[in-house]
Each structure stands twice: as C-alpha cells, then as structure tokens.
Amino acid sequence: MRQDESRTQIYIDSLKIGCDPYFEQLRQRAEDTKVPVIRRSAESFIRTILSIKQPDNILEIGCATGFSALVMADCTKQTTHITTIEKYDKRIAEAKENFKASPHGHRITLMEGDASDILKELVGQGEKYDFVFMDAAKAQYIVFLPYVMELLLPEGILLSDNVLWEGGITESKYALTRRDRTIHKRMRDYLKTISNMKELTTTVLDIGDGMALSKKDP
C-alpha cells in the first residue's frame, strides 16, 4: 500500500465514530490471536450494502471466529437468517462461543466441514440465497463459484473479499513463490470469470483488501 493510500484509509476509518464496543472487542481479540477478520472499511461497506439489500437468506463461505457473520446479523432485519461455513476446529469453537454470547446468535447456522462438500450439499437440497459473502481461501473462490451460482437467486448479490490480495494480484507471477503463483492465477481467473459472465454484473472495488461486488441478473 502506498503511503498516501495508507493516510487516506486512516482518514476514512476515522470518520466512523462511536463504533460499537462489542464489535471492537471482537476485532481486537481476533487481531491479538492472529485470526484475520474483515477490515474496518470492508465492514462499513457490508453494513451499507446490506442496509440497502436487506436480504432474507445470507450464505457466508469462511466463518473464522464469526465476526463478519455477527456484523451481517447486526445490520439486517430480525427475520434474516445467516448460514456460515467453517472447517477449522479451533475457529469453529470460538465462533460458537461468540454466537452464543450474541443476541443475534439464534439467526446464525454454522455448518462444519469442507466448503466444497457443504456447498454441494446445499445445492442438492435446493437451498437459495439472496446474498453470498465469499471470504474463504482465495485459491478456492474459482472452485466454489459454480456452486454459488446455483445457490444465488436472480437479483441476488455475491460479495467477494480479499480479491486484490494486498496488491499481489497485479504482480508478475515470476516475482512470486510457487505456492503464491497458484493463488495468483486462480484469483485472476476468478476475477476475469465473474467480470465476464453474462449472468453477472460485477465491479471490483479498492475497499479493504479488495472486494468484488456482483449482482446476478434475472
């Protein structure tokens, strides 16, 4: 991140005064234990887009400790239900505790296991969602996409986080390690795919670590 961009982001974050102490505490706990959560600018954007969309059913791919699921529950109507997926046992245990302690926890269903298996299961069950938040392993976004398209309702929103990969998405693959080249290629494939699919209208935003906002056309 360039120095001017850093100053700009600090200023934008400073505009959000009176932040909820509960969410600030959750964020600090996650940062202290090195668990990644959505950045403040991404949180603000999610709250804004959900206040406009007001979805009935949300699917989150990548729960971690439940921070973003709780944010989404906090800014949607009381009838909105959130299904979130996580496979790491330690994070699952913490997410369950966070959901239990929240007044919104009863509106969140945590599904444990590999996202590909669970997404396939949800497709088989005929589940449908009007908002999907993709926040899992970046190399898997392109793998999850066919399932997401089956699950997403017409006029539904797909919001994908971390798509600019700390700016690494613009680097030459030859400047990257072998492992990172896989992530680089798959994320580039993902962004190219969702930007050119006739079923989607997509824009890529320089918010947080990059977010892609896609609407499924009727």
Per-residue pLDDT reduced to its tens digit, 106-121:
999 999 999 999 999 9
Cβ distance 76 to 58 under 8 Å? yes
- Amino acid identity of residue 60, one-letter, is E
In a 3-state reduction of DSSP, which class is residue 182? Answer: helix
* Residues 13 and 208: beta-carbon distance below 8 Å: no
The predicted structure's pLDDT at residue 22 = 86
| Mean pLDDT (whole number) for 140-158 | 98
CA–CA separation, 131 and 71 (whole Å): 14
What average pLDDT does range 122-137 have in this prediction? 97
Which pair of tokens denotes residue 214?
A: 């896609």
Q: At what angle do helices 89-101 and 67-74 cross, to 10 degrees?
A: 30
Q: Is the pLDDT of residue 24 over 60?
A: yes
Rg of the chain (C-alpha set): 17
Evaluate if residue 176 carries a pLDDT over 70.
no
pLDDT of residue 2 exceeding 50: no
Looking at residue 33, its pLDDT comes to: 87
Residue with tokens 């680097």, as numbered in its chain: 171
Map out the domains of the chain as residue ranges: 3-216
Q: What is the pTM of this model?
A: 0.90
11 has a pLDDT exceeding 70: yes
State the burial class of residue 9 (Cβ atoms within 10 Å of its Cβ: 0-12, 13-18, 19+).
Answer: middle
Q: Name the helix (H) or strand (E) containing 111.
A: strand 108-112
pLDDT at 5: 55
Comparison of pLDDT for 84 and 8, the residue scoring more: 84
Top CATH class of 3-216 equals alpha beta
d(CA 210, CA 3): 17
Q: Tell me the helices (H) and strands (E) count for the chain, helix number first.
A: 8, 7
- Asked whether residue 46 carries a pLDDT value surpassing 50, the answer given is yes
Q: What are 203's two structure tokens?
A: 């824009």
- Per residue in 63-111, pLDDT (tens digit) is 999 999 999 999 999 999 999 999 999 999 999 999 999 999 999 999 9
- Whole-angstrom Cα distance, residue 43 to residue 102? 18
Cα–chain center distance at 37? 9
Q: Indicate the pLDDT class of residue 1, thresholds 50, 70 and 90.
A: very low
